[in-house]
Amino acid sequence: MSDSSSAPHIALLPSSGMGHLTPFLRLAASLVSNCNCHVTLITIQPTVSLSESQLISNFCSSFPQITPKQFQLLPFDPSTAHSQDPFFLHMESIRRSAHLLSPVLSSPASPPLNTLIIDITLTSAFLPVTSNLNISSYILFTSSAKMLSLCVYFTKILESSTESNEYFEIPGTSPLPISSVPPVLFDLSSLFTCHFIENGSKLVESNGILINTLESLESETLAALNDGKVVDGLPPVISIGPLVPCEFEKSSVSSPLRWLDNEQRGSVVYVSFGSRTAMGRAQIRELAVGLVESECRFLWVVKDKKVDREEEEGLEIILGNELMQKVKEKGLVLKEWVDQEGILSHSSVGGFVSHCGWNSVTEAALYGVPILAWPQHGDQRINAGVVEENELGLWVKSWGWGDGQVLVKGEEIGKKIKELMNDGRLKLKAAHVKDIAKKAIEVDGTSKNGFSKFINSCNKL
Ligand code: UDP
Ligand code: UDP
């Protein structure tokens, strides 16, 4: 794209959790490999999960030309932050250490550093660092454009007295059902909500927002954000997705691909709720019943704990021997990290039961795998709405959030999986989404052009 003598030097600051680290490292890989940029990666040790530290280590060995810089955090007492979530507590700890980043980045570099890309969750704490260093600041938004519109408009919603009880009206975008708004946002004292409000209102101070989505999936929302309809003065929102999975993500992870090699084309449903969602045990048992009753072959990744280091018991303890035997006869069940890209791109996989973490949605789009959306928390119902609108999948809204209030029975799960796997129209629609996703990242595609626009603007600053 550009020769290395004119390419900018860009530093990246990811946040806590695989859902944030993964798109950052894919972006870093692309900046180095496709755009010839000089890249500094700020790494925070220790990480919350084992998967994060393994991924950073694989990344650094695959890209020796990238400069890793360790960022030491201040000691922090979690009891002062009113949250039980280890990932949010870690984000808080990173945010509180923001003033320590300037010395890390101010050492002379050749070429000199000119841009810092900050994760959305760290925005308000780290923007002052970029103005002190006199470098430009870009934000990487790791979720959907629809979620971004909520993030930038949320304070206006709080100030307004005219909101309906059913929808949030965000100018220029389709009405957002209140039932899809992350429940945590109704608790104004929660750590997540405090960060959300601060980050959303500071976005106007950045030079631009990079987003892991693609124009044709969210054109209306992206236009509303870029035309100043949502808020005035927002910097350019540049779509660069789907960020493509890379080779370095594959090493030292389990891969059930050989098992998939022996299954029929499009016959297997892949079931996973991402890197940090532990389903309740009663719901795990119902899901097992549903998978057995679906009469489909399945590849099921089970998580019993939010943080991988804490996983202890085998699945037998949760399901009991009898159900476990039935599960093993009909499919493959794993309780470990898997190569999701390898699975979604495998020809035997014909459907994906997903929590709709945004990375998973973009990966399903890239490989054209229809989704049965089962959002559990956070931005996932908003993302499921994008899936449904684009006919990339089905979504049973009555299944609720994964907060234990609704126990979805196995029989219903089995029926819906059967429907997903036998819906020919949905397969065609998903194949169409795959086409548009591939086009977006090809030469002259909207996301490829997004990358050029970003690099050019870094060079001008
Ligand atoms: N992932 C994976 N193997 C696993 C679980 C997750 O490769 O066993 C990857 C998945 O492909 C995605 C990321 O981890 O890139 C999870 O991000 P997502 O936004 O889908 O969900 P989150 O984990 O943040 O809820
Ligand atoms: N988010 C946001 N503003 C913030 C913090 C988070 O818009 O200030 C978005 C972010 O894009 C993230 C989503 O909210 O993807 C859900 O955040 P969470 O950390 O719960 O989920 P994760 O991405 O780790 O699965």
Contact (Cβ atoms closer than 8 angstroms) between residue 42 and residue 15: no
**What confidence score (pLDDT) does residue 311 get?**
75
The yes-or-no answer to whether 9-244+441-460 and 255-437 have a common fold is: yes
At 247, which amino acid appears?
A: E
- Enumerate the domain spans of the chain: 9-244+441-460, 255-437
ipTM entry: 0.96
Q: Which helix (H) or strand (E) holds 336?
A: none
Residue partners of 348: CB distance under 8 A and separation at least 6: 260, 261, 263, 264, 265, 266, 267, 268
From the first residue on, what is the mean pLDDT of each consecutive set of 10 residues in the chain (461 residues)?
A: 73 97 98 95 93 95 96 84 86 95 90 96 97 95 98 95 83 97 94 96 98 98 98 97 95 77 97 94 96 97 84 83 95 93 97 98 98 98 98 97 94 98 98 98 97 91 63
Concatenating the DSSP letter of every residue in 17-60 gives SHHHHHHHHHHHHHHHHTT--EEEEEEESS-SSHHHHHHHHHHH
* Ligand 1 atom index nearest CA of 344: 11
CA of 143 to the centre of ligand 2 (A): 7
**What confidence score (pLDDT) does residue 333 get?**
94
Residues marked as catalytic: 20, 119
CB burial of 310-346 (b: ≥16 within 10 Å; e: otherwise) equals ebeeebeebbeeebbebbeebbbbebebbbbbbbbbb
CA of 354 to the centre of ligand 1 (A): 10
**What confidence score (pLDDT) does residue 78 get?**
78
pTM of the model: 0.97
255-437: CATH homologous superfamily?
Glycogen Phosphorylase B; (3.40.50.2000)
**What confidence score (pLDDT) does residue 254 get?**
62
Counting ligand 1 atoms within 8 A of each CB, the residue from 87, 360, 361 with the most, and so the one to mutate, is 360
The domain made up of 9-244+441-460 is a member of CATH 3.50.50.60: no
Secondary-structure breakdown of the chain: helix, strand, coil percentages, each rounded to the nearest 5: 50, 15, 35
Supply the DSSP symbol for 352.
Answer: E
Report strand pairing: 167-168 vs 176-177.
antiparallel
Contact (Cβ atoms closer than 8 angstroms) between residue 153 and residue 225: no
CA 253 to chain centre: 19
- Nearest C-alpha to atom 2 of ligand 1 is from which residue? 340
Query: Does the beta carbon of 121 sit less than 6 angstroms from any atom of ligand 1?
Result: no
Query: Does the beta carbon of 51 sit less than 6 angstroms from any atom of ligand 1?
Result: no
- Dist. CA 296–CA 269, nearest whole Å: 7
**What confidence score (pLDDT) does residue 252 get?**
55
